[in-house]
Amino acid sequence: MATVSQERATRRRQRRAPQKGTKRSKVAFAHPSEAEFARILDFYGVRWEYEPRSFPLRWEGERIVEMFTPDFYLPELDLYIELTTLKQSLVTEKNRKLRHLRELHPDINVMLLYKRDYHRLLAKYGYGPLAHEDVRGIERVLITVDELERRITELGQQISQDYAGTEPVLIGVLKGVIPFMSDLMRHIALPLSVELMSVSYYTGDAEGVRITKDLDRDIAGSHVLMVEDIVDTGMTLNYLLHYLRTRRPASLKVCTLLDKRARRLVDLPLEYVGFEVGDEFLVGYGLDYLEKYRNLPFIGILKPEQDGRKPRRPSRRARGKRMEKKESPK
Ligand code: PRP
């Protein structure tokens, strides 16, 4: 055990040493791989602290002669991380220290991350050398995999309570809704059915939305929950709600993962909202840019164009034309 004076010395060092995350530029990293790791944690919105704490490992009399300072602490996971290089001599030494640390502080959650684990971890989130190319177009992650999982679980629980005793019909609009619908329905503990619709935006004499795939069943008298990945201008939802009302459901409510209020043209009541988001171009978890990025497991912000301009969603008119073309056999 450390003496009072040793503990004080350690605390003093700790007060000086902590270098909290988010201000990455102010942290003097000992190694470039640490700076890279911090950048990736920022990218994924994971809070971190750099070398916030030193653990005494060995004493000679009153004097601490060996300490171990893990590279990172991730407060949300209550996890210390030590990065390693591929140099075997360093790895062996770190392993020894870690074993010793675990013996002295069994309550500490600490992990040694080898380069290959590190790359595997990144690949899991669609980043790094093992990941696919798509993620290069992403500026940063706005909503992480964990945040999505947590919030969708809450939504599912809420819906299960509110619809208890009924068999709701969940209706989604292709294609962006696929991941959200699939995760949400697995968190609703009720017998339910699922319907998918498809719409296209057309131009010409009468511009507007057109249903290209209708419901497969009658929803008259059913409790209907319209599921959307994002409500942006509100035009699509407005059209669909009008349409669905003509099919005489017992009730009709909306659950959207994202609410982009800043761009709303038609104000509609949204009973269940996962996240309110700003006016940024979002991709991933079903959302696309020119049909790409839908398969990213998180929601990210698309990088600005090379000339610094914000990427723009193709206009409804353009999308309509694109879809009309696709649908035309000519
Ligand atoms: C998205 C989303 C909504 C709609 C919302 O679909 O799935 O249905 O836009 O936009 P609004 O509020 O401005 O009407 P999109 O047309 O991009 O098609 P997709 O789902 O196939 O990507």
Q: Which of 200, 232, 287 to mutate to test the pocket of ligand 1 (most atoms within 8 A of CB)?
A: 232
322 lines ligand 1 (CB under 6 A): no
Shortest-distance Cα residue to atom 7 of ligand 1? 176
Task: Count Cα atoms within 13 angstroms, Cβ side, for 310.
Answer: 8
235 lines ligand 1 (CB under 6 A): yes
212 lines ligand 1 (CB under 6 A): no
Q: Is 259 a catalytic residue?
A: no
Domain annotation for the chain: domains and CATH numbers: 4-130 (no CATH), 142-327 (3.40.50.2020)
- From the candidates 71, 232, 259, 279, which is the catalytic residue? 232
Q: How far is CA 108 from the centre of its chain?
A: 27
176 lines ligand 1 (CB under 6 A): yes
Per-residue pLDDT of the chain (330 residues; tens, 9 = 90+): 334 344 434 433 333 333 444 466 678 888 878 887 888 788 777 789 999 999 999 899 889 899 999 999 988 888 899 988 767 777 788 888 889 999 998 999 998 887 777 767 666 655 555 555 556 688 888 998 888 999 999 999 999 999 999 999 999 999 999 999 999 999 999 999 999 999 988 766 666 788 999 999 999 999 999 999 999 989 899 999 999 999 999 999 999 999 999 989 888 999 999 999 999 999 999 999 988 899 888 899 998 776 566 666 654 444 443 333 333 332
Q: What angle do CA 173, 44, 312 make, to 5 degrees?
A: 50
